[in-house]
Amino acid sequence: MILEDDEGRVLSSGWTDAAEALLARLAPKNRPDARTGRSRNGQAVEAFYSGDVRAIDAVPVRQFGTPLQTISWTELRRIAPGAPITYTELAARSGNARAVRAAASACARNAPALFVPCHRVVNTAGGLAGFAWGIPVKRALLAREAAA
Higher per-residue pLDDT: 127 or 72: 72
Active-site residue flag, 118: yes
The answer to whether residue 35 scores a pLDDT higher than 70 is no
**Measuring CA to CA, how many Å separate 39 from each of 4, 42, 59, 75?**
7, 5, 11, 25
Domains of the chain: 2-49 (no CATH), 67-147 (1.10.10.10)
pLDDT on residue 64: 95
The answer to whether residue 34 scores a pLDDT higher than 70 is no
Catalytic residue among 104, 118, 121, 141: 118
pLDDT on residue 140: 96
Q: How many residues would you count in the chain?
A: 148
